[in-house]
Structure 1
Amino acid sequence: MPERNPEAERLDRILQTLKRVHPDVAPSLNHRSPWELLVATILSAQCSDVQVNRVTPKLFRRFPTPEALAEAEPDEVEPLIRSIGLFRGKARNLVAAARIVAGRHGGRVPADREALEALPGVGRKTASVVLGQAFGIPAFPVDTHVARVSHRLGFSPRPEPREVERRMTRLMAPERWNLAHLLLIRHGRAACHARRPACARCPVERSCPWPHKPTA
């Protein structure tokens, strides 16, 4: 028999509990295609998904394809995303990424990590989101929520994204990574808040070894 891994079993119990609490968990960025997901995820850096979902409909009506956006200049994009943090840099990245997707990839978002991370504005987390949610390729994106919750639950000694990803993916089968990512995000937003987590109503509090839980 394979050796039991108590931490993998603890994580499994936590994820099962979170799935019961949040049975409707789903990606929070609105999109209809890999391209729209890529754009929305680039925009979501240091910005809430709610705000991104407010601006993308107008952006996609004006520039519905990579080819259309590739013909634009950043100053044409800026007014459409002005309410997004770091909008000038993101406008430049979106246009540059569109030109690469249109010119180098035939207008199709590549389903390949190396090619995705070569796009302006795309780091490991963004590439993982696109791989997992657009293409169903196993990936475990680590945003601030996932990093914080994984660290507090004791699965990673530090909330550093690559360390969290390395340790968490060792404890789960690849086909569970994307759902686990979504559940941990939802839990971070619903209870395990950054400044003052709601430990008193946390559904997995008994499985959490974090030593700094608020007492009231």
Structure 2
Amino acid sequence: MSKICFPKPGNFVYPVPAVLVSCRGKDGQSNLITVAWTGTVCSDPPMAYISVRKERASYAILRESGEFVINLPSRAMARAVDFCGCTTLRKLDKWEATGLHEGESRMISAPTVEEAPVSIECRVTQVLPLGSHDMFLAEVVAVQVEERYMDKKGGFRMEKVDLMAYSHGEYYALGELLGSFGYSVRKRKREEK
């Protein structure tokens, strides 16, 4: 198999999550921003990050408040996710424009997105200037999940949510189960017997 050199090396790990980040400034104004540069960075203590361009309207809110919510959207929210990534708070209220509703966080003042199946409440511990984006490293202080997406053992059933991913300007739905952790080892052990 031959490989070619990718023309823009700044965009190289795909797909990435497509999430809605909600935040609230000290003045009470809240906003939604679509983020693709996000993820888990540590499990103990639980930590996550988002990376945001300085010119985004939410950047100042994030710096000022030090809090945000990573809302994992379902396929049904795809249009709103795209809209919030293409518009600015400086021109309109994204909550009103998308028909999404502010939910109540348990531990921080930033709102959740009521329609999101999963909302991850975060408190910023450090801002790392990286170049085009600054990374907001944060401690996860609470997670809210719609009860219907949890199994009887307390496990999250991602395939039922129909989460989204983003790859080179396009959105994709996730959900097909390919295996569970350790399935490759279990299979090999069965074959060896």
Same fold (TM over 0.5): no
TM-score by length of 2: 0.32
Q: Give me the TM-score of the superposition, normalised by structure 1.
A: 0.30
Identify, as 1 or 2, the structure richer in helix: 1
Return the structure number with greater relative CO, CA threshold 8 A, min gap 6: 2
